[in-house]
């Protein structure tokens, strides 16, 4: 089974199929205040707790700002990690870097052992004036990030504009996974929601899930645990249907995955398969 990178965001691993895949670039899209920075730091904290290293590159948060936020969340371990250089925090100035270049990649390469959690919060200033070469350049940049570890980049959703702007769309297109964080502001239960837009080479849940931001726990996604139990044993299902070897081995592959597919769903699908293959 492919190893998954546990994100540390409670309930989030369930909706993305068990965690991130190693050496991938994962996008978090959200408007101001949706929790992109907290998401990013929580991902890094989990790595630190696992004995991994972390790099946090930001354009508006310096070391002090990160410490204040971490302290407000009760994440002392993150502060110690910064003091011990297990977590490197770098504030870049968009004016001086502006646009993707090798400086950031060189800095990352210098600071990792090849499997470090990397966060760029946010990616938007790096590509805010996209031209024809930008897609190729983002691809190049993402490849360098993948080569150095598992990466989260956050992308700013512009106020009162669609997600169709190139500086939102391109990172989402070229990434390995993308999630969309929203704050509709209806209050409590469904005020904040998160949805998986895509996850390459992975199953993921399709719903819109409520999340909260809590001191101590950080971002908590209320993914549906009942639904997430999965199919433990498919033998009783197999005996119900007359199936050929091809579909049977596919079912066994599915059953081995720790993903939530109900028995009822499999039975419905098999009925359709049977009728199509009479
Ligand atoms: N210590 C805390 N405890 C509980 N909730 C908090 C705490 N700190 C911040 N929050 C919540 O998280 C929100 C901000 O989250 P965050 O800074 O991660 O958002 P962001 O998407 O990065 O926004 P920005 O546009 O400022 O970068 C706050 O508006 C508040 O609702
Ligand atoms: Mg932020």
Q: Is 149 exposed, middle or buried (0-12, 13-18, 19+ CB in 10 A)?
A: buried
Domain extent listing, the chain: 12-224, 230-276
Least confident of 143-147, 148-152, 257-261: 257-261
Nearest CA to ligand 1 atom 25: 32
**Whether the CB of 33 sits within 6 Å of ligand 1:** yes
What 8-state DSSP symbol labels residue 126?
G
**Whether the CB of 158 sits within 6 Å of ligand 1:** no
pLDDT of residue 160: 58
Q: Which atom of ligand 1 is nearest to the CA of 156?
A: 25
Nearest CA to ligand 1 atom 3: 215
Record the pTM: 0.84
Which residue, among 127, 62, 65, has the nearest Cα to 92 in the 3D structure?
62
- Check whether 228 has a pLDDT greater than 60: no
Instruction: Mention every residue, 6+ apart, whose C-beta is less than 8 A from residue 191.
Output: 183, 184, 185, 210
**Whether the CB of 34 sits within 6 Å of ligand 1:** yes
Alpha carbon distance 62, 245 (integer Å): 58
**261-273 average pLDDT score:** 80
Average pLDDT of the chain to the nearest whole number: 85
136 to each of 42, 145, 200, how far by Cα in Å?
Answer: 30, 14, 19
pLDDT of residue 95: 57
In CATH, what number does 12-224 get? Answer: 3.40.50.300
Tell me which residue has tokens 């890094």: 44
Q: Which residue has better confidence, 240 or 89?
A: 89
pLDDT band at 99 (very low <50, low <70, confident <90, very high): low
Task: Say if residues 125 and 154 touch (Cβ distance below 8 Å).
Answer: no
**Whether the CB of 35 sits within 6 Å of ligand 1:** yes
pLDDT of residue 51: 94
- Check whether 93 has a pLDDT greater than 70: no
pLDDT of residue 231: 59
The pLDDT tens digits of the residues spanning 18-39 come to: 899 999 999 999 998 999 999 9
The pLDDT tens digits of the residues spanning 24-82 come to: 999 999 998 999 999 999 999 999 999 999 999 998 888 999 999 999 999 999 999 99
Nearest CA to ligand 1 atom 12: 35
pLDDT band at 199 (very low <50, low <70, confident <90, very high): very high
pLDDT band at 277 (very low <50, low <70, confident <90, very high): confident
Alpha carbon distance 5, 1 (integer Å): 13
pLDDT of residue 222: 87
**Whether the CB of 125 sits within 6 Å of ligand 1:** no
- Check whether 129 has a pLDDT greater than 70: no
Most confident among 56-70, 83-97, 178-192, 238-252 (mean pLDDT): 56-70
């Amino acid at each position: 089974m492919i190893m998954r990178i546990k994100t540390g965001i409670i309930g989030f691993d369930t909706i993305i199929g068990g965690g991130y895949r190693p050496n991938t670039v994962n996008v978090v899209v959200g408007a101001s205040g949706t929790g992109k920075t907290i998401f990013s730091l929580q991902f890094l904290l989990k790595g630190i707790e696992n004995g991994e290293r972390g790099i946090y590159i930001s354009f508006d948060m310096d070391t002090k700002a990160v410490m204040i936020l971490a302290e407000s969340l009760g994440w002392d371990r993150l502060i110690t990690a910064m003091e011990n250089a297990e977590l490197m925090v770098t504030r870049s100035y968009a004016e001086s870097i502006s646009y993707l270049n090798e400086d950031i990649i060189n800095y990352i390469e210098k600071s990792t052992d090849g499997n470090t959690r990397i966060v760029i919060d946010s990616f938007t200033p790096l590509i805010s004036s996209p031209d024809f070469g930008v897609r190729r350049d983002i691809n190049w940049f993402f490849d360098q990030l993948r080569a150095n570890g598992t990466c989260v980049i956050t992308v700013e959703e512009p106020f009162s504009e669609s997600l169709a702007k190139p500086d939102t769309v391109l990172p989402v297109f070229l990434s390995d996974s993308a999630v969309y964080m929203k704050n509709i502001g209806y209050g409590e239960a469904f005020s904040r929601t998160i949805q998986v837009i895509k996850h390459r080479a992975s199953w993921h849940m399709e719903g819109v899930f409520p999340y909260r931001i809590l001191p101590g726990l950080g971002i908590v996604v209320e993914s549906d645990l009942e639904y997430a139990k999965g199919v433990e044993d498919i033998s009783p299902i197999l005996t119900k249907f007359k199936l050929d070897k091809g579909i049977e081995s596919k079912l066994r592959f599915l059953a081995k995955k720790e993903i939530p597919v109900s028995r009822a769903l499999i039975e419905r699908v098999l009925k359709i398969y049977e009728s199509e293959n009479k």
